[in-house]
A and B are shown apart, each in its own frame.
Chain A
Amino acid sequence: MNTLHNHQETLDWLFEQLGESADIEYHESESHGNEGQLLFVKSMVDDKKVQTSILVPFYNLDGLEQFVAYLYNLPSVKLFVSRDNTLDLILDGHAALFFGKHMYLVDVKLVKNEQISEISVEPTLQGPTNSLSENIMVNLNVLRGRYSRPSLKVEYWAVGTMSKTRLALVYDEQLVNPNTLMKVKEALNQIQTDVIQAAGELQRLLTKTKKGLFPTMIVTERPDRVVYNLSHGKIAFLLQGTPFALIAPAVFYDFMSSMDDFYVPYWVSRFLVFIRYIGLLATISLASLYVLVTSFNPEMVRVQLALSIAGSRAPVPYPSYFEVAFMLLMMELLTEASLRLPKSIGSTATTVGGLILGQAATQAGLVSNIMIIVVAAVAISNYVVPIMEMSYGIRVAKYGILVITSLFGLMGLVAGLLALLAYIVRLDSFGEPYFKLFIEKPEKAHKASRGKNNSGGA
Chain B
Amino acid sequence: MAGYQARAGTVARHCNGLCGKEVEGTVTKFGKIAVLALIAVSLVIPSGCGFKDIDKRFFVVSVGIDKPRDPNKKFKVELKLAIPSGQERFGSNKYIIVSVESNTLTEAVRLAKSKVDKELDFGHAKAIVFGNDLFDEGTTLPEVMDWIARRRDIQMISWMGIGKPDALGVLSSNPQSERLPSNMLFMIFGQTGTETAYIVSEYLFDFYRRMNERGLDPILPIIETRDKDQLSVNTMTVFNKERRVLDLQPRETLILNNFYQGLSKTEILVKSGDIDLVLSAAKVKSNFTITGADSDKPVIHTITNVTASIEESKTPVSLDDLPKYEKAAEQLIEQRVAALFKKLQKAGVDPVGFGLRYRATHRVGQKEWDRWTAVYPNIEFETKSECENIGNGDCG
Chain A residues with CB under 8 Å of chain B are 209-211, 293-299, 303-304, 306-314, 316, 319-321, 403, 406-409
Contact = CB atoms under 8 A, between A and B. Distances in A.
A294 B53 contact: yes
A306 B54 contact: yes
Contacts of A298: 54, 57, 59, 121, 123-124
Contact of A406 (B46, B82, B85, B183): B46
A210 B5 CA distance: 12
Interface string B139-182: 00000000000000101000000000000000000000001100
A15 B121 CA distance: 85
Interface in B39-65: 39, 42-43, 46, 48, 50-55, 57, 59, 61
A209 B126 CA distance: 52
Nearest to A312: B86
B250 interface: no
Contact of B59 (A294, A297, A306, A406): A306
Contacts of A210: 1, 4
A209 B186 CA distance: 55
Given A297-B123, A303-B61, A308 B53 contact: no
Contacts of B3: 209
B190 to A, nearest CB: 11
Contacts of B229: none
Interface in B70-124: 82, 84-88, 121, 123-124
A308 B88 contact: yes
B4 A311 contact: no
B40 to A, nearest CB: 10
Q: Among A316, A319, A408, find the residue whose CB has the most chain B CB atoms closer than 10 A.
A: A319
24 contacts: A210-B1, A211-B4, A294-B53, A295-B51, A295-B54, A296-B50, A298-B57, A298-B59, A299-B155, A303-B59, A303-B124, A306-B59, A306-B124, A307-B88, A308-B88, A309-B54, A310-B54, A310-B84, A313-B54, A319-B46, A403-B43, A406-B43, A407-B46, A407-B48
B55 A313 contact: yes
A299 B153 contact: yes
User: Which 8 residue pairs across A and B have the least CB separation, nearest first?
Assistant: A299-B123, A311-B84, A310-B84, A303-B124, A294-B54, A313-B55, A307-B84, A311-B86
Given A299-B124, A303-B186, A409 B51 contact: yes
A209 B6 CA distance: 13
Contacts of B39: 403
A186 B50 CA distance: 53
B84 A308 contact: yes
Q: Among A210, A303, A312, find the residue whose CB has the most chain B CB atoms closer than 10 A.
A: A303
B126 A311 contact: no
A320 B186 CA distance: 29
Contacts of A296: 50-51
Interface in B274-320: none
A172 to B, nearest CB: 33
Contacts of B50: 296-297, 409
B212 to A, nearest CB: 25
Nearest to A313: B55
A312 B85 CA distance: 8
A320 B54 contact: yes
Contacts of A211: 4
Contact of B53 (A209, A299, A312, A319): A319
A404 B70 CA distance: 50
A209 B3 CA distance: 8
Given A294-B53, A321-B46, A409-B51, 17 more contacts: A209-B4, A295-B52, A295-B53, A295-B54, A298-B54, A299-B153, A299-B155, A303-B126, A304-B180, A306-B123, A307-B59, A310-B54, A310-B59, A311-B86, A312-B86, A319-B53, A403-B43
Contact of A320 (B53, B123, B153): B53
Contacts of B84: 307-308, 310-311, 314
Contacts of A313: 53-55
Contact of A407 (B42, B82, B179): B42
Nearest to A209: B3
A295 to B, nearest CB: 5
Contacts of B82: 303, 307
A211 B155 CA distance: 46
Contacts of A407: 42-43, 46, 48
A99 B85 CA distance: 93
Given A313-B54, A408-B48, A409-B50, A307 B123 contact: no
A345 to B, nearest CB: 36
Contacts of B53: 294-295, 313, 319-320
Contacts of A310: 54-55, 57, 59, 84
Nearest to B49: A409
Contacts of A299: 121, 123-124, 153, 155
Contacts of B183: 304
B55 A304 contact: no
Contacts of A311: 84-88
B391 to A, nearest CB: 40
A293 B123 CA distance: 12
A124 to B, nearest CB: 38
A321 B183 CA distance: 30
A309 B54 CA distance: 8
Contacts of B186: 303
A295 B53 CA distance: 4
Interface string B332-367: 000000000000000000000000000000000000
Nearest to B82: A307
B21 to A, nearest CB: 23
Nearest to B123: A299
A297 B153 CA distance: 10
B55 A316 contact: yes
A152 B61 CA distance: 70
B332 to A, nearest CB: 42
Interface string B1-22: 1011000000000000000000
A313 B4 CA distance: 42
Q: Among B84, B126, B155, B183, find the residue whose CB has the most chain A CB atoms closer than 10 A.
A: B84
